Amino acid sequence: MSTYPQTSNYIAGKPGVGTGAEQSVIDPFTGEVIWTYRADDASTVGAAVQAAAAAYPEWSGATPADRSGALTALAVELSSVAEELAQTETAQTGKPIRLSREFDVPGSIDNVSFFAGAARHLDGHASGEYSGDHTSTIRRESLGVVGSIAPWNYPLQMAAWKVLPAIAAGNTIVLKPAENTPLTTLLLAEACSRAGIPAGVVNIVNGPGPDTGQTLVTDPALSMMSFTGSTAVGRHIAGLAAANGTRLHLELGGKAPFVVFDDADLEAAVRGAVAGSLINSGQDCTAATRAYVHRSLFDDFVDGVTDLMRRVRLGAPADPETDQGPLVSFRQRDRVASMVERALRDGAKAVSGGQAPGDDLADGAYYEPTLLVDADQRSEIVQQEAFGPVLVALPFDRDDEGIELANDVPFGLAASAWTRDVFRAQAAARRIEAGTVWINDHIPIISEMPHGGMKASGYGKDMSSYSFDEYTQIKHVMSDITAEAAKPWHTTVFAHAEQR
Ligand code: NDP
């Protein structure tokens, strides 16, 4: 408890305490409350937006080199508290400490370093005399105050993905993390201050989405709203933001297909399917959720996945030997369990898992690694996000059929194709409707490349220079170079006026 921030919000460079209803952060391993705070109400959210607006002129006017320097200092600050970040992330989410130490924290720090570089790289068309009578130049400018709402699955990384491109581009931000996982986001804000990022550039408010979050979304002073979370809430937010004409960035749900062609390396596909479906207990919007496997490999694939899933070690999140921790909350575990129950009632069969474990893990929000077969393509478990350690395997006979089934869901965030044939790989990469297509792998991400979806998965890109672009706007400056008062185009307006 002592390492957690003694604050519930972070506004204008200072920790503060909310005045709304009391909220609890619960360790999903023990079910115990590890931190309480008061939610931020409308007046506190308004103060955060005002702090961001007050900080904007100076921050947006800073040179790219100055902003880059501050982000470089932030990377150093975060590195110096990497272990505290990892332990706090694990305590509030239940994710295994190995994942926090080797993925969440270093990935976030690498993102900071990437955007320290991106801050100095402003792309645009070449200036030139496109009209003959003018020189056109493009300016890339920041937007203003950005509001952001992040989910609970990777709290630190999601905060980083939202804050970094926004502030690297010269904006200021007010971010609301998920109400059950605010702690590492507050630690990030504190590190921003220690790194010399001016007060008011990064502000954090906390509280439930329908209250604190919705108040933020509807603030008319926001220039942009960025959101990662469920498709339903994303669309709700889009409606609210539209009323103010607020620019939107939406990174929504996923239901990633995992397509195994008949020439695939079966061992690689089995390992990839288990790692890709169980990472972060499956609470990953790019997790492998639907394995379409050529019928000639199907039985061996199912046997291999079942065998490996049974060897995955569930245990205490803080234990470095643990492979899979609890889900983030009992609510999320129950949501996954009831979705699997409905699938089983509808005819699916669990060849691995399909239930919460008993015995010594009964106090935590655990769910067993689960492989389902015999599900119908149209059923809920194939069509909708489960966001838990659940993989469904379905056979196919023709390449075309495998790809059509992969595309036959509302979502389009990520996908993978498994084959040794370069032509099949290229066809899958081209035809699968997803923002990322992996070939012979599933999950890796990298700061230089975009993450974001198509279809019901939204359209906002996180990471990479594409996300930096989304937090900027371009301005065309068109300068007359003739020094003539009478321009040829005036005749379209008053061709004969001077003769009258
Ligand atoms: P939500 O989409 O409800 O939550 C994501 C964020 O939105 C949280 O910060 C939440 O706040 C906030 N929020 C919720 N309602 C509103 C609102 N009316 N106005 C403004 N902000 C709001 O996801 P859940 O936590 O309920 O998870 C439900 C399902 O969503 C999961 O089972 C999973 O399928 C999917 N999901 C997908 C994610 C992704 O990255 N694609 C991430 C998280 C969930 P708070 O939690 O504090 O109420």
- pLDDT for the residue 497: 77
DSSP assignment letter at 280: G
Task: Give the dihedral sign, CA 189/190/196/198.
Answer: positive
Tell me the two tokens of residue 193.
């201050």
- Band (498; pLDDT cuts 50, 70, 90): confident
- pLDDT for the residue 5: 67
**Best substitution site from 233, 281, 331, 463 to test ligand 1's pocket, by max atoms within 8 Å of Cβ?**
233
The partner residues of 291 in beta bridges, in order of sequence, read 258, 393
Q: What is the pLDDT of residues 301-333, one digit of tens each?
A: 999 999 999 999 999 999 999 999 999 999 999
Q: What is the pLDDT of residues 193-246, one digit of tens each?
A: 999 999 999 999 999 999 999 999 999 999 999 999 999 999 999 999 999 999
Q: What is the pLDDT of residues 334-382, one digit of tens each?
A: 999 999 999 999 999 999 999 999 888 999 999 999 999 999 999 999 9
Percent of the chain with pLDDT strictly greater than 90:
96
Distance CA 455, CA 335 (A): 24
How large is the average pLDDT for residues 57-82?
A: 98
SS3 292: strand
Active site residue 192: no
Ligand 1, CB within 6 Å, residue ranges: 149-153, 176, 178-179, 208-210, 213-214, 217, 228-230, 233, 236-237, 252-254, 285, 335, 385, 387
Contact yes or no for 172/199 (Cβ under 8 A): no
Q: Chain-wide mean pLDDT for the chain?
A: 96
Task: Give the dihedral sign, CA 77/78/84/89.
Answer: positive
Tell me the two tokens of residue 458.
């939204």
- pLDDT for the residue 3: 57
State the amino acid at position 149 in one-letter form: I
Distance CA 156, CA 104 (A): 7
282 pLDDT exceeds 90?
A: yes
How large is the average pLDDT for residues 156-161?
A: 98
Contact yes or no for 417/261 (Cβ under 8 A): yes
Q: Is 126 exposed, middle or buried (0-12, 13-18, 19+ CB in 10 A)?
A: exposed
Residue of 285, 368, 433, 470 marked active site: 285
2 pLDDT exceeds 50?
A: no
Q: Could you please report the per-residue DSSP string of 117-179?
A: HHTT----PPPB-SSSSEEEEEEEEE-SEEEEE--SSSHHHHHHHHHHHHHHTT-EEEEE--T
Task: List phi, psi (to 5°) of 187.
Answer: -65, -35
Task: List phi, psi (to 5°) of 261.
Answer: -80, 170
- Band (496; pLDDT cuts 50, 70, 90): confident
Contacts of 170 (CB under 8 A, 6+ apart): 59, 60, 61, 62, 67, 141, 142, 472
- pLDDT for the residue 360: 85
**Best substitution site from 37, 40, 149, 204 to test ligand 1's pocket, by max atoms within 8 Å of Cβ?**
149
Centre of ligand 1 to C-alpha 154, Å, is 12
Distance CA 71, CA 55 (A): 16
β-bridge pairing 349-352 and 288-294 = unpaired
Centre of ligand 1 to C-alpha 158, Å, is 12
1 pLDDT exceeds 60?
A: no
Percent of the chain with pLDDT strictly greater than 70:
99
**Radius of gyration in angstroms for the set of CA atoms belonging to the chain, rounded to a whole number:** 25
Contact yes or no for 189/77 (Cβ under 8 A): no
β-bridge pairing 454-455 and 472-480 = unpaired
pTM (two decimals): 0.96
Contact yes or no for 452/161 (Cβ under 8 A): no
Active site residue 285: yes
- pLDDT for the residue 358: 85
426 pLDDT exceeds 70?
A: yes
Centre of ligand 1 to C-alpha 467, Å, is 21
Distance CA 377, CA 384 (A): 11
How large is the average pLDDT for residues 152-179?
A: 98
**Best substitution site from 8, 230, 336 to test ligand 1's pocket, by max atoms within 8 Å of Cβ?**
230
Centre a 10 Å sphere on the Cβ of residue 449 and count the other Cβ atoms it contains.
13
Distance of alpha carbon 29 from its chain centroid, rounded?
24
- Band (490; pLDDT cuts 50, 70, 90): very high
Closest atom, ligand 1, to C-alpha of 176 = 9
Tell me the two tokens of residue 322.
């643990």
Contact yes or no for 35/24 (Cβ under 8 A): yes
Tell me the two tokens of residue 200.
């008011």
Q: What is the pLDDT of residues 14-25, one digit of tens each?
A: 999 999 999 999
β-bridge pairing 202-204 and 172-176 = parallel
Centre of ligand 1 to C-alpha 153, Å, is 10
Centre of ligand 1 to C-alpha 303, Å, is 35
Distance CA 424, CA 240 (A): 43
273 pLDDT exceeds 60?
A: yes
Task: List phi, psi (to 5°) of 125.
Answer: -65, 155
How large is the average pLDDT for residues 415-438?
A: 98
Distance CA 146, CA 249 (A): 10
SS3 70: helix
